[in-house]
Amino acid sequence: MIAGLPLAMAAGALLGLGCVLLVARLLPPQVDLADALGRLTPSRHADLESTTGAASSGKERIGVWAIRVLPPGMWVRTPARELALLRISLAKFYGDKLTFAALGLVAPSLLGMFFNVLGIGLPIVVPAVASVGLAVVMFFIPNYNAIDDAKRARVEFARALGAYIDLVALERHNGSGVRQAMESAAQVSDSWVFRRLSEELGRSRWSGLPPWDALHALAEELGLPELEDFADIMRLSGEEGAAVYSNLRSRSAAMRTAMLNAEVTQANAVGERMTIPGSLLGVIFMALLVAPSLLRMFSGT
């Protein structure tokens, strides 16, 4: 009975996976109109072809297969802005989700087999339910990782953008044109923020798009309100010829002040949490001092 239990567990896991795939295949697809129109555009086909050609890793190949075969509704929510900011392709992201879900589906069964080898018998229902639950939890781990990494990347982008705005203000103060000032300032550093800005400005030059419109579109795509404000200021300078040196310096100073206040608030919160162990230690010390007297009082000796 014990020898056949691992085989029964593996068969049950495969049967459950087959039923899930069959039900997902038979369900009527819920087509996302925006996604369907995006698939019909030439740019979407070009992106998919480039993704297929660049899918050198196993996870990316799994992601490409998932994009083509699986229904879009099964992903629940895709953090598109976060992935665009981190420059993670959809193929890699979907491959990570399926890989994590597969690990969560298999791990409890393997653990149950290990317990059976040790002589600790578990009901078949326990690893089956644990497999489904762990697979669902691990399916959303890439979402959490992308959101958390994007949050840190946005803070880094805002910090670098403050320095970039100061450089643009100095270039404009020295008499450079709007586009020249923005492009020259973006070439000062080789950090990923400055490289991203330089790439967008270079594409806008070749496409004939004004640089502030390119940065405005980038801000909407990545969810960066600070970059959107900077693009609006440069639009005034480019279209109306307004003097924006003082506005740019004020904007960069306001960004630094806001970041400093956020860091001070975070430091205060961490400091308050650090006082809790010290307070508990003081309470325990006082209890140790008072405990002998209380014991003698209640014992009557």
The pLDDT of residue 143 = 93
For the ranges 32-46, 90-104, 117-131, which has the lowest average pLDDT? 32-46
The pLDDT of residue 286 = 80
Confidence band (pLDDT; 50, 70, 90) for 147? very high
Residue 114 scores a pLDDT above 50: yes
Give the DSSP H or E segment for 113: helix 90-117
The pLDDT of residue 146 = 93
Q: Tell me the average pLDDT across 26-30.
A: 55
CA distance 137 to 132: 9
Q: Which tokens in the block code for residue 87?
A: 């420059």
The pLDDT of residue 301 = 54
Q: Which tokens in the block code for residue 267?
A: 């430091």
Q: Which tokens in the block code for residue 32?
A: 């996302």
CA distance 7 to 75: 31
Residue 247 scores a pLDDT above 80: yes
Percent of the chain with pLDDT over 90: 14
The pLDDT of residue 3 = 47
Domain ranges of the chain: 5-139, 150-254
Over residues 214-226, the pLDDT tens digits come to 998 899 888 888 8
Alpha helices for 27-73 (secondary structure H): 33-40, 42-54, 58-69
Q: Tell me the average pLDDT across 91-115.
A: 84
Confidence band (pLDDT; 50, 70, 90) for 45? very low
Reference 124, options 14, 19, 13; nearest CA is: 13
Q: Which residue has the higher pLDDT, 31 or 172?
A: 172
Contact (CB, 8 A) for 75 and 97: yes
